[in-house]
Amino acid sequence: MGSLRVIRKSDRKILFPFDGAPQIGPFATPAEAREAAVEYGRKIVAADRAVPEE
């Protein structure tokens, strides 16, 4: 079982995980887990770019 961490590069703010964040997984294979993490990470980044928190 791995963990996902998304950090905004400009100010090093941790975007994921956050309090109440959903747990992703488990997955049948490591490849599925990586693919899901990349997809979810992209969604988090897109949401942050659309409405950035300070």
* The predicted structure's pLDDT at residue 3: 82
Instruction: Please compute the mean of the pLDDT values over residues 26-35 and round it to a whole number.
Output: 92
Q: What is the pLDDT of residue 15?
A: 93
Q: How far apart are CA 28 and CA 8, in angstroms?
A: 29
The phi and psi torsions of 52 (rounded to 5 degrees) equal: -70, 140
Q: Tokens representing 42?
A: 């992209």
pLDDT-derived band of residue 53, with 50, 70 and 90 as boundaries?
confident
Q: What is the mean pLDDT of the chain?
A: 90
Match 């897109």 to its residue by tokens. Answer: 46
Note the pLDDT of residue 1.
60
